[in-house]
Structure 1
Amino acid sequence: MPTYISAVFNKDTRTVEFTADNGDKLIRSGGSLAWLLNNPGNLRPGGKYAKMIGQADTKSGKFAIFPTAEDGRAEKRALLRRKYNDMTLYNAMHTYAPESENDTAAYLAYVRKRSGATDQTVIKDMTDEQFNGMIAAMEQYEGFNAKPETRKERIVHATQVTLSDGARPMPATPVIVRSSNTGEKKVTTNEHGALPTFITRQPGEVIELFLEESGKIGSRIGQFALQQASASLVFARNMMTVGGNSQPHTPTQPSKEKRTPLRYVVQPGDTLASIASRFKTSVDDLVSNNHIRNRNRIYPGHVVWIYGKAPADAANDGAPATPTRSRQASYSVRSGDTLSRIADRHHTSVDALMAANPSISNANRINPGQKITLPVGVEAVPPSAAGSSRRAGNSGNPQTSDRPSLVKPPPETPAAAVRPPASVQARDTRSREGEGHPIAIIPFSQKRAPWVEHAYAQARKWAGKKEAEISRTINFHSELGYGKQFTTLAGSSNAWCASFVNWCLRTAGYAISSPHPYRARSFAADTTRFSQIDEPVFGAVALVGTSHVGFVYAMDRGRPVLLGGNQSDQINFVRFNPATLRYYVPKSYLPFAQKELKETKLDELAATDLNAALGIVVAKKAGDNTR
């Protein structure tokens, strides 16, 4: 049976859309509000409800949404034990159902009669029979079972398609969708390379995808059929091309031109000597330009500049300094928009949008022309991304799925070129140091786990500083839009390992886990954006049990070394028992990861040496724990 991992309430239609871990959607309407939301106790959001998957902004205020009614009951029991355990039944009911909102006397009398307890019975002293009787009475009084004849439910299946260059998502890519049933329409991938979700209305409907080139149908990407089951597909294409202009043959007066500094991220297996050889420079120049203390020790993720020092406007790359906050994009509300639709379009959540826009008090009240600030790291999707039909088409809202990813090989016909980032632009020069035939030096495309450089930069920047000090400058929860729930990184109730991992992924241009990016287990639950792999590769997200997460960095005597946050309240390197680990990569990175599994081994590096190189002194906790 599928597990529901997120839910969205539509106030206008009084419906709830539950999204399952396999991508299916349950559309529910009618019945009582308590039944509709799987919330028998009518619990309000804001409490520490581990199983809450959404919230409903109703005419009666906000209420939590749970995956199942039993989950709602379990949270109700936990709340009563946590908050009301030392109260008498009389005081508990007057606190739980205040007279300003309820007929508290009638409510109390009903619970008293059904539970067999008295007004002065203390909750913690109740027998199991009395406690369960109280729970059942409250559920009945709250109206969970009311209006059963109006209840309606239906399940729909969805297919999510992501376009990848083999390692990176292909954002803002115009695509022509041709349906065997509904004709053609134009759509555009979002910032994470995902197309709008396809809803199965007629099983067997064939969908063909083509790149749009100069406003016309171009190279064929592939095809698939919509099934009576949800699916998540990745179409991998080698879209990276590098252009380089060579100089004229045999110049009249050869000269040694000063080459523009090139930013390079150290890869596993690199040494300064190998980098110098690859780029026709010297180790001495690399050491001098990058202030490297030990020419024999350089680690993956470290940024070095080749052919000169870093430009004045270059990124800090982790040197200890106050970072600038990530830019926040904005979105102008259009007619017909809702916060839910805006969140779906930008692959974020209503909660994150509300957190980024404190002025919005009602999630169901936004107006055309209103400016919405998007959460940090979320890019605005242009209006054209919503798609414009040539003929009546089949479109759907983004959904989730966990069917096995189907990675399609690149077609024989190459696709249109996508301009590579500056780090892979070709540079023109000549053979024999400026004499003879012109050549174009093309730097290696750095596709390998580009998010690791951001994790390494943070480890280097903070050099063992504790979470309380890090919080004064950056709160990774807040960066993802959850600053109201987690105002600091410090403390046992604010675990930030998952938020750190997601921050690094988002900074590198990849999608973050959903629906709860601050939870480690969200990477296992989000089978739309992440795929599980059998063995570790460099940069893979490693889930430790269900409560911790970090990036695979190296091997240390047979055990993976994870680079992560919230390890001894720091950002550092720690060895973990492989028996406790599961590995995940972004869907768009899966083809590259599969190639890595066949061809590349992890570096053998000791966690103690890695920490020492960055000046990190790992502070052990009680019982020699690191978390």
Structure 2
Amino acid sequence: MFVNATYDRDRKTVHYFDEDGSETLYIGGSFAWRTNNPGNLTKPGSYVMDAAIGYAQRTSGSKSLFVIFPDRASGQLAHQRLLKRVYGNSTVKGMISKYAPSSENNTDAYVSFVTEKAGVSPEDIIGSLGEDKFGAVSAAMEQQEGNVPGVIKQLGKPVQVQLRDKLNQPFASQKIHVKSASDNFATETDENGDLPWIFSGLLGREVSLYYDREQGDLEKIGSFTADGAASAYTFGSPYYLLSARPRVHQTELVAHPAMHVVRAGETLSSIAAKYGTSVDTLVRINGLANADHIYARQHLRVRAAHAVTQSNPLPKARPSTVKPASPVRVAVADQREVGVVHQRNPESGHPQTLVSSPTLELSGAIWCDRFKGSQSVDTLNPAFKSCVEAFFAALKVAGIQPVVNATFRPAERSYLMYHAFQIAKGTVSPDKVERFTGVDIDWVHRTADGEMDLDASRKAATHMCNGFGLRLNSSRQKVGRPWSSRHNYGAAIDMNIPDFTGKNVQDAHGDEIAIKSFADLKAIGQSYGVRFFPVETMHWSDNGR
């Protein structure tokens, strides 16, 4: 079922988003067909129309926003409800005169078409028509509004692929070939090593990536299965091997540390200038909801750290096709470089140094200040935001003031919350947690001899749970995986709604409901498109999950 939609007026295309992560395009055809809005209903000013998942501006000069529905049946039902509720006491002619005013339509021709098709009189009262006649009037109006099918293109589920080298640096501005059974095309990574979105519906299930070294010399990077929910894949692009040196000196992190601790008076602009990056990049990699809201002692990621030595700096990395062997002990100094694994070349037996991942930061309460979520309704996606605002407006009229606890939550924060909860509960071992792009956390705390310290790892995870406000001893506490929560899509809100019993609240259909129980409140919220999730005590979303 589609849960959100956007409209591209220039391309005459509606982009639909399914609750399972799939995406679909409705291209061409009539406007009513593209929007699943057979009655061409516009957005009401006083409430959110039931089942609306988006809005479309039909022309550049139009002040009206037309409703986008998840399917034609929903659009038809909304049309019929509108006719009965708004025009129930009007004649057929009077209804059409208001519904399709002469300033925008040939109203007389509209009336003649509908009455002839439906077999009714222009003076018949809408509310007095039998179901058959009423249905015929509705169908004739839909036909008059136009329903010319266009093209439906199933994009499938989008996959974001990021390529990073063995220094964990972006494999930026590199030519990449994407191959599958259905298509084969060349593209290029951006400055962050990201490829354009890849859609399973266009490429098929199995997708392979190749690095174009020069003039068609393709080296396979890896393959993946593009049939999961919207995901992010990170491939270690070609290995970079460096010759071992007889002595490794003390490592220091220079030039560009991975984290910056905000000082009083600093702005995101000044921090970006200091590290040679942009405000947009800092907002993106830290999951900030507002570029103007940072605070002293806040930890911000600025980019991955670069490890260099005080003497014998690393030589320029060169590509190699030699596959790394299992780590073995090599006679070098005790102090080794951060993120460096010493190995032997499996063919020559000579020692080599494989530069691997960057320094990871141990888990603990400090991570609770990273990738902050939001409590603002403004950070919700536009479709759900309008639903929430309409629901809140109705509650406010009745003297009810909701207390918002959470709205948008970055996927990185969901990753931290989910795995901290699992580790603290003992559900998963810290060394079994998968990595998440952009979150350089080490869940494994170790003893002096390098063995995993399970107690310390769980204790750190417990501190994180406390910082996140997670109730470890509550059976009702649920924590979703990243991208499984509607919070990650700006389509959920956690809130308390106090003192609602005994109040009269108008639902989205214009009916005034006397609230006797929480069930009444849930029904009113659902009429506005804000659905309660029964598994959690405060969670409301666009689809009730």
- For the aligned pair, the TM-score class normalised by the smaller chain equals 0.3 to 0.5
Superposition TM-score, scaled by structure 1 size:
0.41
Superposition TM-score, scaled by structure 2 size:
0.46
Q: Rg: which structure is higher?
A: 2
Which structure's relative contact order is higher, taking Cα pairs within 8 Å and 6+ residues apart? 1
